[in-house]
Structure 1
């Protein structure tokens, strides 16, 4: 049963009696609810006045409003210490790397043991020695100054410039330092740490899981292959979906989720998401995440594709992922019970007698834990045209599958409709769907509208693809000239740096791989069925998203299910291993030929001939995607078969599950 809690409705109006359009001012948390909302639903999903009317359930653990952070208004932002060097506090481990992206220095900065270690440079006489710097504390060359106030980052797609070859060479150098004597190609484990929970990945799901475990007093290790600034969560422009408006309910959110999922949504998973999402927004505000507000100080609720009500909360317009990851990571590194190990890739799970005891990284680091949580993100960068950072290669899915975990729904890959194309330096740069929610339109080469802009993403992406195939054009045009540029400052600034002014020009866009609905099969607590192993976020597949994810449900899923998985993992028993940890396994990064083949044969439209060719690809995840797509002989959601263009109702609730090599169809309810 869905629990639709009581709510408190804000009915504040402007002096003229109307409710104004929202701005990007941070929102103060709404007060706890005291009465049930009885406002009738509005007839128009685009009604702007829904945005200033917010209702939330009131769980007992929510702090009183008098103890919550005071909302800042637009005229207050950026005033504090403007023009001065930012204050340094317990989050000094957050810095900017030479590319200008915020990230964490490695664990020496945030390790309590390192801070307590005696300084070998201290002279026996007690005289203060000459100041020295460790490598991790050195300023980056060409020191990039931190921006002040609300100046947008001009490089929101800086991940597109990362050099994958350089990362592979760095990993090879780390392995060379730890070569064992057992023979060529082997690496010995050189360090071991013991914790309660180890989290693989540092996106929104991994950070949420780590904070939830640390909040229970557990010792936590976070192992991440990239700095925090290079996770897909950090680059997320969309918001978090939650039924907060007075004309909205969790039931309506559930219905929209099921409608977008095209008959494959697991209802029990969707019920958890929609019921826990409103309280989750309050919890994030208490952690210090500042969401956008209208001029009345109420949460500004946006509208995106597939939603029938305004229920999307944003932070900084299109910078939601960035601000969420920054705040969660800042809290994480300030906790003494948490160890963060950056730029260490988990390559093998430590197993004994069928139980997972931890992970081993590419540099020989072994982490033993009661519970291991895979939160390494998705695999959209396996396609040559993508909105994701280069590290989104499905490594967590392969890690779990290699240990015996089942994977499912890998044929369902969401292609975001509006990724920039044909613009040097901005290829694949995503333009958030919220811009269409504010009135932007899509135009064909003749300058005519051809699709309902706020239809679910699979419909919009397929309509764009049809136009491109029919006309031979490389892009359709996104017309956002009617949208206030101040509403999405990061997107506007990025486009202007590329020579496009969205206030006067249309933007060339085309679909790009964005999100994989499939992943490691889990229950509603992240349990994979293998003792000691859990998965959350885009690495997992609970059946929540079905054949097509509803916009802005992904970040919500990361926070809600990340905490649930952490609590479940803490219930695992502590097992002492009987032998040493395994040696690290070599990384299995895809070649460019694989990425091109994925786009060619497993793109928006597929057929049996191309999928059979892809099934022989050397990359294991490409083969799994091809086999799942071959098994599903129909078109449903984001999976479109040229040779099977219709949806087969007999396959409702049937999911392609791979436990070994070949998939089979299982029914989930």
Structure 2
């Protein structure tokens, strides 16, 4: 695979009118907001988010947050469960940090207003999900992320040192080496669509602003929209990963994309996740004829890790020719189902499915990226001044497959760790004044009258990824995907240079970069491990118990630790 190509407009030489801050946070999910709150007493924070501040993967997290808070649970058990799910690629020290620091971060989250469900005796209610050996998942019915996002946003909005800029999408990171300076990130160019009038498209209200910061933190979430079917909201287009790659940061383990086994299958339903907690509470996976099948694939049956369950469903769908399988919890009392899963009950009922008496038709869908921007134990990337936390980062916690409900935990732990590291050095950060950088240049770009190019390429790219780089892969499929993505990249690059940037164009550009990274990393791993399963190399090999890394100008390759 050749080095991935850049697609960056060169700025002009005019002095900018820049927004300056101590900390620039790109993204408004659990990791970014936790970081913002933890540094806000020490400096000014600007949070930019490309749509409303509530719209993030965090908001749509149903299951909960895994943490050892029960006296019947142990750190050792949570660590072991995480390592087993990660299929030999977890970084042991990171797993240990997240598991042991998790309870304190949960306590802070509760002090910030998050209200988790409690049992009748007043203790925190704990659920069990696939891959866990104990009940350790804190939750708020089946809408945990919504409550977490609410609590954090309320605190951020009330803090005088935090400014949230909604409808602001980062275009590219500002790295001084582009202008003859050191290789350090000092902020980002940001497309402001907040001033857009009703009915006016992005191009007609084109305004690119310069944001300069002493530390830039990518907390932009995942990239599920790179696949045709996903549980992710529309904002999940891999923006932070693509920007970091273009800036020269190291990216790792992009081949490991987790497909959630159970999303609602209905022609009018869009990306609705059916939480793993249903299986944790006894729901059974069945073929359309009612026959259970998970015992044929794993002794843990419905409580096997997500990669195993997703592959089992994919296998049975292909074997039987069915377009879905069934998730059945009708053997539980109706009151139990409604009380524990009110969101899922209401949403399914909206589509004519009463889950208390009818099984739910489900299919796998792209859910969570285990790879991302390489970071150290404090969220630092390989570019000075640039940090990454949350799903866009590759910390080593998840390895080749994420254990259920470890994602929000990681966001809490690493959002906090990055904040502690940065604020411990706040005096040193403030020694130098913000640099002068050129403003964004429009050049000869004009508003587009061919938006069909964006929508067509968007659809083709996602279908290509779904068909060739999905749950089960092969060398031939990866080669086909690489050829098609390369052609799409050429078209996107040409379009990008000719027209004013819009949010849709930037998202297309970013998912194309993410797609190429996924294909490249998958092509370099000649084994099946965790979320990467290929029919050409069906076995797991000790030789490949290492990370796959890629950097601009350097093809994907394996690297030991």
- TM-score, normalization: structure 2? 0.83
Judging changes above 3 Å, is the alpha-carbon distance between structure 1 residues 595 and 187 closer, same or farther for their aligned structure 2 residues? farther
2:29 to 187, 194, 203: 203
The alpha-carbon deviation at position 272 of structure 1 amounts to: 0.7
1:590-633 Cα shifts (integer Å, max 9, x gaps): 61100000101110011111111222312222111111000001
Judging changes above 3 Å, is the alpha-carbon distance between structure 1 residues 578 and 488 closer, same or farther for their aligned structure 2 residues? closer
Instruction: Report the Cα distance in structure 2 between the residues aligned to 1:330 and 1:584, rounded to whole angstroms.
Output: 36
Greater Rg over alpha carbons, structure:
1
Structure 1: give runs of 5+ residues left out of the alignment.
Answer: 1-181
Judging changes above 3 Å, is the alpha-carbon distance between structure 1 residues 197 and 577 closer, same or farther for their aligned structure 2 residues? closer
Give the secondary-structure state (helix, strand or coil) at the position aligned to 2:269.
coil
Instruction: Report the Cα distance in structure 2 between the residues aligned to 1:196 and 1:186, rounded to whole angstroms.
Output: 25
Give the secondary-structure state (helix, strand or coil) at the position aligned to 1:347.
strand
Partner of 1:519: 372
Partner of 2:197: none
Tell whether 2:167 aligns with 1:343: yes
Partner of 1:134: none
2:138 to 303, 306, 313: 313
Partner of 1:447: 290
Instruction: Report the Cα distance in structure 2 between the residues aligned to 1:290 and 1:573, rounded to whole angstroms.
Output: 36
Instruction: Report the Cα distance in structure 1 between the residues aligned to 2:186 and 2:309, rounded to whole angstroms.
Output: 44
The alpha-carbon deviation at position 384 of structure 1 amounts to: 0.4
Give the secondary-structure state (helix, strand or coil) at the position aligned to 1:556.
helix
1:44-98 Cα shifts (integer Å, max 9, x gaps): xxxxxxxxxxxxxxxxxxxxxxxxxxxxxxxxxxxxxxxxxxxxxxxxxxxxxxx
Partner of 2:209: 365
Instruction: Report the Cα distance in structure 1 between the residues aligned to 2:13 and 2:47, rounded to whole angstroms.
Output: 21
Q: Is the 8 A contact 2:217 2:388 kept in 1?
A: yes
Give the secondary-structure state (helix, strand or coil) at the position aligned to 2:376.
coil
1:216-268 Cα shifts (integer Å, max 9, x gaps): 32110001111123211101102000011112111110000000000000001
Tell whether 2:318 aligns with 1:479: no
Q: Is the 8 A contact 2:307 2:401 kept in 1?
A: yes
1:499-543 Cα shifts (integer Å, max 9, x gaps): 110011111001000001010000010000211100010100011
Tell whether 2:84 aligns with 1:259: yes
2:19 to 179, 193, 218: 193
- TM-score, normalization: structure 1? 0.70
2:533 to 640, 651, 654: 640
Give the secondary-structure state (helix, strand or coil) at the position aligned to 2:59.
coil
Partner of 1:375: 219
The alpha-carbon deviation at position 425 of structure 1 amounts to: 2.7
Tell whether 2:47 aligns with 1:226: no
Mapping 1:426-505, distance limit 5 Å: 426-451=269-294, 452-483=301-332, 484=336, 485-505=338-358
Instruction: Report the Cα distance in structure 2 between the residues aligned to 1:365 and 1:190, rounded to whole angstroms.
Output: 8
Structure 2: give runs of 5+ residues left out of the alignment.
Answer: 1-8, 177-181, 192-206, 295-300, 449-453, 490-511
The alpha-carbon deviation at position 568 of structure 1 amounts to: 2.2
Tell whether 2:436 aligns with 1:579: yes
Q: Is the 8 A contact 1:361 1:584 kept in 2?
A: no
Instruction: Report the Cα distance in structure 2 between the residues aligned to 1:188 and 1:263, rounded to whole angstroms.
Output: 51
The alpha-carbon deviation at position 576 of structure 1 amounts to: 2.9
Instruction: Report the Cα distance in structure 2 between the residues aligned to 1:186 and 1:632, rounded to whole angstroms.
Output: 41
Mapping 1:238-257, distance limit 5 Å: 238-257=63-82
Give the secondary-structure state (helix, strand or coil) at the position aligned to 1:528.
coil
The alpha-carbon deviation at position 424 of structure 1 amounts to: 3.2
Q: Is the 8 A contact 2:12 2:439 kept in 1?
A: no
Instruction: Report the Cα distance in structure 1 between the residues aligned to 2:462 and 2:406, rounded to whole angstroms.
Output: 27
Give the secondary-structure state (helix, strand or coil) at the position aligned to 1:593.
helix
Deviates more, 1:577-586 or 1:298-307: 577-586
Partner of 1:73: none
Q: Is the 8 A contact 1:189 1:366 kept in 2?
A: no
Judging changes above 3 Å, is the alpha-carbon distance between structure 1 residues 468 and 187 closer, same or farther for their aligned structure 2 residues? farther
Partner of 1:599: 466
Q: Is the 8 A contact 2:210 2:440 kept in 1?
A: no
Q: Is the 8 A contact 1:615 1:626 kept in 2?
A: yes
Give the secondary-structure state (helix, strand or coil) at the position aligned to 1:357.
strand
Tell whether 2:541 aligns with 1:541: no
Q: Is the 8 A contact 2:142 2:342 kept in 1?
A: yes
Tell whether 2:241 aligns with 1:397: yes
Instruction: Report the Cα distance in structure 2 between the residues aligned to 1:425 and 1:553, rounded to whole angstroms.
Output: 30
The alpha-carbon deviation at position 189 of structure 1 amounts to: 8.6
1:169-215 Cα shifts (integer Å, max 9, x gaps): xxxxxxxxxxxxx99x989897422211110000111111111111x
Instruction: Report the Cα distance in structure 2 between the residues aligned to 1:247 and 1:667, rounded to whole angstroms.
Output: 36
Judging changes above 3 Å, is the alpha-carbon distance between structure 1 residues 235 and 584 closer, same or farther for their aligned structure 2 residues? farther
Instruction: Report the Cα distance in structure 2 between the residues aligned to 1:339 and 1:372, rounded to whole angstroms.
Output: 15
CA RMSD of aligned residues (A): 2.1
1:334 to 158, 164, 167: 158
Q: Is the 8 A contact 2:370 2:399 kept in 1?
A: yes
The alpha-carbon deviation at position 284 of structure 1 amounts to: 1.2
Q: Is the 8 A contact 1:357 1:371 kept in 2?
A: yes
Partner of 1:407: 251
Partner of 2:507: none
Partner of 2:498: none
Give the secondary-structure state (helix, strand or coil) at the position aligned to 1:228.
coil
Give the secondary-structure state (helix, strand or coil) at the position aligned to 2:60.
coil
The alpha-carbon deviation at position 664 of structure 1 amounts to: 1.0
Q: Is the 8 A contact 1:191 1:364 kept in 2?
A: no
